[in-house]
Structure 1
């Protein structure tokens, strides 16, 4: 005898997963997408995964999203997976139009993409796009982290290249050829093209037939053989108890040790009482202009430093000597 089951037809909403190596421009892309969606009256939920304290970046996104869940101090692809699933389920229960999730800069997207597929009935997210941001300045020039960067690409449905204006025409052409070799089936998009396509997804009302089974427990997510590279990176946070002089910030960023791969600092300035500012460093690169953050932000003035084998005590002493020679900092 054959058992018959009636498949349920339910309304789905799209999900955009953003990955990319440290400093590639994931949050910049997310910020652009949110502004474009808000301009068109699309309501977005956001999940932000970052090292140590995801709240720093979340403060630059809050005005353009309906809700933000910050998954900090853990990696979404491993110890943070259960928390990520809880956040996605919570977001699924909202009436907003789209879910955007940004992974931290060394996360392996494979187990997350598989978990989203295995839990499709529970999440009700479709289509699910995985967008990978490629940093033209450093692509395939990360020594033994090249394999991790490659893994972040391999489940991508779309990819875009950031910082194109900072490399030669020849290098950019070679990167595009290489990406076509690695991802022949994925779509190359510009930031504007992606924003337009994501808006179209959010405007469309999707109805899908759910699968009859949902056995995620018996099918644990896969992991790349190079997954361990995701966990060779550590992070620490430094708190600033008072305002900082603007002329001290960039010298401090420039003088950080070479093994600090990424630095982000949310500063209250002595020179501007109306705004707070997010300063960043990627490798040795420091953007000319910091990102302004509303004074309504309740996240403490602080910095997140990311890299292999960080020494928090030394970094704290360095910050004390460089930024606030007469103040007490804490880590």
Structure 2
């Protein structure tokens, strides 16, 4: 392995925990310190929707989306081959965001096999939503699995949580992974991340099928108003854990991005640029079927007509 080998930092965490927020923080911090990050985004459906958030600060050639497969299993070969093809550069660091249902232990077990010796052994950073930690019902096991072989655990969504809640979550994390460093996002020193060692924590194997959920996407027409966004998000049952969409609202030329997180909250923000795959609505979770998406879109448009 070369003396100046490139670090690979894989970010994992449950849907809505804040992985993309952490990745943007790492990207900005590395750029500010003179590093040259390369970013890989993975999602079930249309990871290209998230690419635009990064190419506002980086050239598009340094960001890659891998959609349609899970990098902890069926997509691992594609991911490994792509990492090996990343151009060499001074002060390089590779940042990978895994989809929110990845089997994190399997991902780390497979990713390091077959990488070029110009890379350091991959390390894993987990993102934990303090507010919703282990409140996922049947998905608690998957959420806990995602921290088992992480070298660092980053706490997010601590706003409006009590000190007792934070202490409880930290104790639980230490019980599951006593070797990981636990830290708040604003305390991260990115220059130290490449010096972390892969976790040596003993992990319990997860039933891999628990990390594989249905997903679906549909074309999304222009929506008459923002109320349509909320109508669409409310139309899906709780079994749909993630809703994402990007389209134009009313007569606006700019695109709007929206998402519904597993706790039911809806977030809306401007989308800079034009989505390469066109306007889309995406869902992840049990019951993600095209007919369900089309029904949600149609109902929102009918409701909009009644408002005019």
Is the pair's TM-score, using the shorter chain for normalization, greater than 0.5?
yes
SS at match of 2:64: strand
Contact 1:48 1:102 (8 Å CA) reproduced: yes
2:242 corresponds to which of 248, 262, 266: 262
Alignment of 1:152-231 (within 5 A): 152-194=146-188, 197-200=189-192, 224-231=205-212
Whether 1:46 and 2:39 are equivalent positions in the alignment is yes
Deviations 1:284-311 (A, max 9, x none): 43255x2322125434111211101323
Please name the residue that 1:104 is paired with.
99
SS at match of 1:91: coil
**TM score, norm. by length of structure 2:** 0.86
Please name the residue that 1:278 is paired with.
257
SS at match of 1:118: coil
1:322 corresponds to which of 300, 303, 307: 300
Please name the residue that 2:287 is paired with.
309
1:57 corresponds to which of 41, 50, 55: 50
**Aligned equivalents of 2:229 and 2:96: distance in 1?**
30
Gaps spanning 5+ residues in structure 2: where?
196-202
Whether 1:17 and 2:10 are equivalent positions in the alignment is yes
Shift of 1:271: 5.4
- CA separation of 1:325 and 1:240: change in aligned 2, threshold 3 A: farther
Contact 1:48 1:70 (8 Å CA) reproduced: yes
**Aligned equivalents of 2:263 and 2:147: distance in 1?**
24
Shift of 1:72: 0.6
- CA separation of 1:36 and 1:225: change in aligned 2, threshold 3 A: closer
SS at match of 2:240: coil
**Aligned equivalents of 1:102 and 1:113: distance in 2?**
13
- CA separation of 1:9 and 1:87: change in aligned 2, threshold 3 A: closer
Alignment of 1:85-164 (within 5 A): 85-91=80-86, 93=88, 97-120=92-115, 122=116, 124-126=118-120, 128-164=122-158
Contact 2:260 2:266 (8 Å CA) reproduced: yes
Aligned residue pairs total 297
**TM score, norm. by length of structure 1:** 0.81
- CA separation of 1:170 and 1:138: change in aligned 2, threshold 3 A: same
Gaps spanning 5+ residues in structure 1: where?
1-7, 205-221
Alignment of 1:241-260 (within 5 A): 241-260=221-240
Contact 1:16 1:128 (8 Å CA) reproduced: yes
Cα RMSD (Å) of the superposition? 2.6
**Aligned equivalents of 1:247 and 1:326: distance in 2?**
8
Contact 1:19 1:105 (8 Å CA) reproduced: yes
Contact 1:277 1:291 (8 Å CA) reproduced: yes
